Structure 1
């Protein structure tokens, strides 16, 4: 990438969020966005599918996981993995989630820089909600393990909406739950389907290249991509928001 294209990219990153001023809310996905949970999902699916002889007993690889499972709702996963026995697929995904929750208690880790971002959001008094395709039991457990139960003002679950992601319904419901406007809200997401949902809901999405390939994420038109919450690209934009009074402090909002 040339110096000019890098400069243009940086300018685009800033304008995507500065147009939201004054920013009033931030929406987060959970899996892969708050925490690096995809390896735990992958492990659980791989082990359990191998146990039942899926794919002739050959373990699924990460490419299969990304293409068919990551970021998708369990209803869609059940249909994809068990096209001839949907009910069996639903039972399998329920059992897999129970296994995943046991792994979470032992191994869950936050995305690097999450605590720094949480402090920034809290200091500026921004509204916030978690919007996820994960089952509520999973989402609440992960949020609790990360110490964010009090941070989020609402948790929106795809299965409790008219449609799950990649439909925009969960993000629109998230806005409604916290009383925020899409004209002043941005989103953090890590999956192609999640980015698609946020963009369709009319908000800029900052994509995290936690596990999914960048070329797949970019196809869904995020505002820009970051590696994690320590990424200098993110903080350059947030600092610009501060300089331009693009966020309101608690004192300003009072």
Structure 2
């Protein structure tokens, strides 16, 4: 369960009228982390990383989840960054092969996208994933026409946890941060949104809630079917 301090303030009323909704992709639109973990685990085991012992979920969360591949490459191959970058590129190709027809939207996502469309809100996807992965996952989820823009961390000056990708999304949409909200599932992504001055609703599907709360989201939800989210959106509608 989310702790009491997080339950106490699940309001978005101060951001009315809402104009734009920004989404991360991995772990936010779909629960793709187990597929990423499996790809990393298998490929790292093949090269004898960690003495050939498969990486744990804890290792994956701490060193890989939500991070940009440049940072992952440095973490996994501190003495050979070029090898790390190539390894991550190969791993992303493996991820796309493994994920084909297995990418499933988080509960309630399509209800939320309809809510957003019904109100004419602007929207963009903002991710540290490579563009090939981002467009693949959005397509698999049937959301290609939903997003007006897809902002890639490596195509900005700095990826998340820098605020640059979220600020670039607002720049592309020509909208203010004052009437925006973000959905994110990783500490890195939440920190990026908070640094951009935008309220972030954290999704606690995989990452430990305490770790997410340390990044200071507005509040946490389990998925898009969470009653806390819909109570907050109903309050926004009244404003």
- Taking structure 2 as the reference length, what is the TM-score of the superposition? 0.97
- Alpha-carbon separation, structure 1, partners of 2:205 and 2:123: 21
Bigger Rg, which one: 1
2:164 to 161, 169, 175: 169
How far the C-alpha of 1:107 sits from its partner, in A, is 1.3
Provide, for residues 93-135 of structure 1, a one-character-per-residue CA deviation record: whole Å limited to 9, x for no partner: 0000000001121311111110000000000000000000000
How far the C-alpha of 1:77 sits from its partner, in A, is 0.3
Q: Contact 2:7–2:219 at 8 Å: present in 1 too?
A: no
Q: Contact 2:20–2:175 at 8 Å: present in 1 too?
A: yes
Partner of 1:191: 186
How far the C-alpha of 1:12 sits from its partner, in A, is 1.9
- Taking structure 1 as the reference length, what is the TM-score of the superposition? 0.91
Report the 3-state secondary structure (helix = DSSP H, G, I; strand = E; otherwise coil) of the residue aligned with 1:218. helix
Written as runs of structure 1 = structure 2, the 5 A alignment for 1:198-209 is 198-209=193-204
- Alpha-carbon separation, structure 2, partners of 1:139 and 1:75: 16
- Alpha-carbon separation, structure 2, partners of 1:207 and 1:117: 15
Indicate yes or no: 2:130 matched with 1:129. no
1:13 to 10, 13, 24: 10
Unaligned 5+ runs, structure 1: 245-254
How far the C-alpha of 1:21 sits from its partner, in A, is 1.1
- Alpha-carbon separation, structure 1, partners of 2:23 and 2:174: 15
Report the 3-state secondary structure (helix = DSSP H, G, I; strand = E; otherwise coil) of the residue aligned with 2:75. helix
Report the 3-state secondary structure (helix = DSSP H, G, I; strand = E; otherwise coil) of the residue aligned with 1:19. helix
Indicate yes or no: 2:69 matched with 1:74. yes
Report the 3-state secondary structure (helix = DSSP H, G, I; strand = E; otherwise coil) of the residue aligned with 1:129. strand
Partner of 1:109: 104
Q: Contact 2:6–2:220 at 8 Å: present in 1 too?
A: no
How far the C-alpha of 1:210 sits from its partner, in A, is 1.2
Provide, for residues 7-56 of structure 1, a one-character-per-residue CA deviation record: whole Å limited to 9, x for no partner: x8555211xx1111111000000000001000000000000000000011
Provide, for residues 210-253 of structure 1, a one-character-per-residue CA deviation record: whole Å limited to 9, x for no partner: 10000000000000000000000000000111122xxxxxxxxx
1:157 to 152, 158, 163: 152
1:58 to 53, 56, 73: 53
- Alpha-carbon separation, structure 1, partners of 2:6 and 2:38: 36
Partner of 1:247: none
- Alpha-carbon separation, structure 1, partners of 2:6 and 2:103: 33
Number of residue equivalences: 238
- Alpha-carbon separation, structure 1, partners of 2:237 and 2:7: 16
1:238 to 228, 233, 236: 233
Partner of 2:83: 88
